[in-house]
Amino acid sequence: MIGLRSGSTVVTELSRHPLERLLGLSFSDPSLLQEALTHKSAGTPNYERLEFLGDAVLELVVTEQIYLLHPALDEGAMTRMRVALVRRESLAEVAKRLQLGSHLRFGPGERKSGGMHRASILADSFEALLGALYLDSGWEVVRELIKSQFDWDKLQSASADGLKDSKTRLQEWLQAKNLPLPDYAVVRIEGREHDRVFTVRLTTSAVEKAVEASASSIKWAEQAAAALTLEQLER
């Protein structure tokens, strides 16, 4: 029996959660892992708060990797690449590889309806796992896990749909649903003349609240707002 020390706790190999063994990790606080694997249908605490944290951690790591690996890309191309990578379908694929669905705790109704196979739940649970790992083990550990779960070499050749102009993709999504096209409006301009930051508000009937995004040009602010809207629609 192998003894692994995590924090001040000695954890035996047999006592570790199967997911810990799969990832080669050990949680100092096992309750964080349990929370990350608990759907809201099973009660509280559940993974929703950890998902919120994990979403931010994931976006920062992905942004960092794109910046480091693709120095020739401009702001717009990096934004589109990030959207393609962190979209629900991409995260659900990672969750499937990790067999997260089989480890999730559900209420009877959600389990019976096939929650463990639902892409939105799988994507959310992966983000929750990242949030839990960040709190338990810190930035470097969660960063390495994220880096290990994506094929960064294939980012440049990601699907044309994934990297397509975000405004175009949003327009196509709305047209497919017979919804009106979105409205873009510049709501704020900040900074000096040579270093302006433009904030654009995107309004569409497809989401409840208007989405705002800022960038160094109106064009990229519109693209960023469209990308954020697509993230909401594709969850």
Residues with catalytic annotation?
55, 127
Closest among 24, 37, 176, 178 to 100, alpha carbons compared? 37
Q: Which residues pair with residue 189 across a beta bridge?
A: 198
Q: Which residues pair with residue 78 across a beta bridge?
A: none
Q: Which residues pair with residue 193 across a beta bridge?
A: none
The tokens for 168 are: 């175009």
Quote the strand ranges of the chain, DSSP E.
3-6, 9-12, 183-190, 197-203, 211-215
What amino acid occupies position 230? L
The secondary structure of residue 24, as a DSSP letter, is T
